[in-house]
């Protein structure tokens, strides 16, 4: 009794005790605005997530991760051939920290293929609870993705698991409002001037034998309505919407099976405006002369009234399915998107735009701890979100940094740039993970890493002890604070009676102090009820494992476990 249903695997009971590392700001690699809060972090993502935990717990609105799929194939940039239980252990440790980083109404999107998605679903049920599962989205890649595959069935799909941190009241029919999601389809453009039109094509409709005339418009003026900070500008936006109610539009991709529409589209050019006069053979406008409008090879849908205006947002409400088709999220030249080449491993900017647009508002924090080529950060930057991106290995520099520099400078005009009117701006700060605080010498004895100076040591010990490192301008022993009257002081000097008295003389009656030092006189052990003295590194050894280079998925030769049945032969 009392047992719960759970996934188990070899080594699950061996909990990973991750060392909280410092994040070292490398200002020489920053780019763009100096006051930015965006963070590009180079290093193992489990160590980096642990480093973020203290300052960012409960603050991230949207997390998207695209972890190694564990496909048992070796890729160019990392080996994806992991023994199954190791993959589960490494993912479990990361997902637990990601859960802590999410704000109460934050959401997690996990992108996988069918090798591990079902196991990851059970992992997430255990961390978020089954009641917080929102959806299992099937993402249909291009059919080209199936070329070269053997076997009976060609796989052209991947999967995205969606969870919300906050408790959902009705897990069987979750609404956009309860999720805090934004409606995707928006009427946010209007035709200021239709210009002049010229007949460029004419043909006879097969359905009724009536002529169809296609006109190209010149000097057409299309305006985009800013939807940034809508609540602050609700009345202004509402008035603008009402003024242009007859010319507000959104684009619709035409269904492939519509032969008439496809015939029209075959003769249209992108980024041009057209109108088509024809007489429908069916529908509500049957036998009446009707005009269709096309922009950027999409059929325009016009707003007919103001009933869809809510909180300054003008939307066309529509339910989305859990099948996201390739045609809905065009991939274009994904391998070269963003100006960096990362074949077979990129996700299209349009996909991330949909995810970020749905689940965040401007200035919300978006996090990707498997940043890859930098797509999530690039899209978040273009959409006015704050972001944190983590990537290990050299492509943190060669791919992520290179791509994001182009985004911020405005050089990157691919992906979603034109759709969101991106011309550059913003910036990011670059961080490296600090080395392990404690090393082991040739006698396997723990020693403080020689790369740590006094300030780094004090900041690191504060992080381990849960204190905020913020040295006081007047009292040297107030290096870090916990509660209002609780402080931490870290020093490498030997503590003596006179030195301790100099500290106690400046302490107030209700103040409490922990001193972390390398050595002290024995008689100081109980010098004051207001002071606790601890030795470093001994005080830290049981908290986590040190001298660990990484927890990455780059395992080429997984361990071989003995057959447990061998003992009974």
pLDDT in tens, 112-142: 988 889 999 999 999 999 889 999 999 987 6
Residues 384 and 235 in one domain: no
- Residue 565's pLDDT band, with cuts at 50, 70 and 90, is very low
Identify the pLDDT of residue 41: 98
Residue 404 has pLDDT above 90, yes or no: yes
Task: Please give the mean pLDDT across all residues of the chain.
Answer: 83
We report the CATH number of the domain holding residue 173 as 3.40.50.150
Contacts of 250 (CB under 8 A, 6+ apart): 185, 186, 187, 188, 189, 300, 301, 316
- Per-residue pLDDT tens for 228-238? 444 445 566 56
Element (H or E) spanning 380, and its range?
helix 375-382
Write the pLDDT tens digit of every residue in 239-288.
666 666 567 666 665 554 467 887 888 888 888 999 999 998 887 788 89
User: How would residue 561 be classed by pLDDT, with cut points 50, 70 and 90?
Assistant: very low
pLDDT of 526 strictly over 70? yes
Confidence of residue 214 (pLDDT cuts 50, 70, 90): very high
- Print the domain residue range for 389: 23-181+320-433
Is residue 133 located within the same domain as residue 222? no
For residue 440, count other CB atoms closer than 10 A to its CB.
12
Q: Are 387 and 374 in contact (CB under 8 A)?
A: no
Instruction: Compare 9 and 538 and report the one with higher pLDDT.
Output: 538
Q: Rounded to whole angstroms, what are the CA distances from 116 to 67, 134, 141, 568?
A: 10, 18, 18, 32
Structural domains counted in the chain: 3
**Domain shared by 100 and 201, yes or no:** no
Size of the chain in residues? 569
196-204 and 386-391 as β-strands: parallel, antiparallel, unpaired?
A: unpaired
Provide the percentage of residues in the chain whose pLDDT is more than 70.
77
CB crowding 300-312: b at 16 or more within 10 Å, else e = beebeeeebbeeb
Both 304 and 207 in a single domain?
yes
Same domain, 35 and 177: yes
Helix, strand, coil fractions of the chain, as percent rounded to 5 = 25, 25, 45
Could you tell me if 40 and 162 lie in one domain?
yes
Q: Which H/E stretch holds residue 179?
A: helix 176-179
Peptide bond into 537 cis (omega under 30): yes
The lowest-confidence range among 89-103, 172-186, 195-209, 394-408 is: 172-186
Angle among Cα 433, 62, 30 to the nearest 5 degrees reads 40
- Residues near 430 by Cβ (< 8 Å), separated by ≥ 6? 25, 26, 27, 28, 29, 30, 31, 40, 41, 42, 401
Answer yes or no: do 483 and 410 share one domain.
no
365 and 504: one domain? no
Higher pLDDT, 215 or 558: 215
> 472 and 428 in one domain?
no
Distance CA 348, CA 264 (A): 28
Residues 388 and 466 both lie in one domain: no
Q: What is the pLDDT of residues 435-458, one digit of tens each?
A: 999 999 999 999 999 999 999 999
pLDDT at 395 over 70: yes
Give the span between the Cα atoms of 156 and 117, in whole angstroms.
15
Segment 155-162 mean pLDDT: 91
CATH of the domain at 500: 3.40.1350
291-300, 320-329, 366-375: which has the minimum mean pLDDT?
A: 320-329
Q: What's the confidence (pLDDT) of residue 235?
A: 63
Maximum mean pLDDT: which of 143-147, 287-291, 361-365, 378-382: 378-382
Fill in the DSSP letter of residue 562: P
Q: Are residues 167 and 209 in the same domain?
A: no
Judge contact between 494 and 535, C-beta under 8 A: no
Greater confidence, 144 or 47? 47
N-term to C-term CA, the chain: 34
Q: Find out whether 439 and 546 touch, Cβ atoms under 8 Å.
A: yes
- Give the per-residue pLDDT at 165: 92
């Amino acid at each position: 009794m009392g047992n719960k249903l759970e996934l188990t695997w070899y080594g699950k009971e061996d909990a990973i005790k991750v060392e909280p590392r410092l994040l070292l700001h490398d200002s020489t690699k920053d780019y763009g605005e100096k006051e930015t809060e965006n963070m590009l972090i180079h290093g193992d993502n489990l160590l980096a997530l642990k480093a973020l935990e203290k300052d960012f717990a409960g603050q991230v609105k949207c997390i998207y991760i695209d972890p190694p799929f564990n496909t048992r194939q070796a890729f160019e940039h990392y080996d994806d051939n992991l023994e199954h239980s190791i993959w589960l252990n490494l993912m479990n440790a990361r997902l637990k920290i990601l859960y802590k980083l999410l704000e109460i109404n934050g959401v997690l999107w996990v992108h996988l293929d069918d090798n591990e998605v079902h196991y990851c679903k059970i992992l997430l049920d255990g961390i978020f609870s089954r009641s917080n599962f929102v959806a299992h989205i099937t993402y249909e890649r291009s059919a080209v993705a199936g070329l070269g595959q053997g076997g009976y069935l060609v796989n052209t799909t991947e999967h995205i698991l969606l969870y919300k941190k906050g408790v959902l009241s009705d897990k069987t029919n979750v609404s956009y409002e309860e999720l805090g999601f934004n409606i995707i389809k928006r009427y946010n453009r209007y035709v200021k001037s239709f210009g002049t039109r010229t007949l460029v094509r004419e043909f006879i409709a097969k359905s009724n034998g009536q002529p169809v005339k296609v006109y190209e418009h010149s000097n057409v003026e299309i305006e985009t309505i800013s939807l940034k900070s809508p609540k602050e500008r609700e009345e202004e936006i509402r008035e603008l919407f009402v003024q242009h109610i007859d010319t507000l539009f959104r684009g619709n991709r035409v269904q492939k099976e519509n032969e008439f529409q496809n015939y029209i589209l075959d003769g249209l050019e992108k980024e041009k405006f057209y109108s088509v006069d024809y007489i429908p053979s069916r529908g509500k406008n049957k036998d009446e002369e009707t005009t269709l409008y096309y922009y950027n090879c999409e059929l325009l849908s016009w707003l007919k009234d103001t009933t869809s205006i809510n909180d300054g947002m003008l939307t066309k409400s529509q339910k989305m399915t859990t099948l996201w088709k390739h045609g809905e999220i065009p991939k274009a030249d994904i391998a070269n998107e963003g100006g960096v080449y990362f074949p077979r491993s990129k996700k299209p900017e349009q996909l991330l735009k949909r995810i970020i647009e749905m689940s965040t508002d401007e200035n919300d924090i978006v996090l990707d701890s498997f940043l890859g080529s930098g797509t999530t950060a690039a899209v978040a930057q273009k959409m006015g979100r704050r972001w944190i991106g983590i990537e290990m290995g050299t492509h943190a520099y060669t791919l992520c940094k290179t791509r994001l520099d182009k985004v911020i400078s405005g050089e990157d005009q691919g992906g979603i740039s034109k759709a969101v009117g991106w011309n550059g701006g913003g910036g990011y700060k670059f961080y490296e993970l600090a080395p392990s605080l404690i090393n082991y010498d040739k006698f396997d004895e723990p020693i403080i890493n020689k790369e740590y100076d006094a300030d780094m040591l004090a900041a690191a010990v504060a992080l381990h002890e849960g204190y905020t490192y913020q040295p006081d301008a007047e009292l040297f022993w107030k290096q870090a604070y916990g509660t209002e009257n609780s402080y931490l002081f870290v020093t490498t000097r030997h503590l003596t009676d006179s030195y301790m008295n100099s500290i106690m003389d400046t302490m107030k009656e209700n103040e409490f102090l922990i001193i972390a030092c390398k050595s002290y006189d024995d008689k100081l052990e109980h010098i004051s009820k207001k002071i606790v003295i601890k030795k470093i590194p001994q005080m830290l050894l049981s908290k986590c494992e040190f001298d660990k280079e990484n927890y990455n998925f780059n395992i080429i030769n997984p361990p071989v476990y003995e057959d447990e049945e061998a003992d009974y032969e």
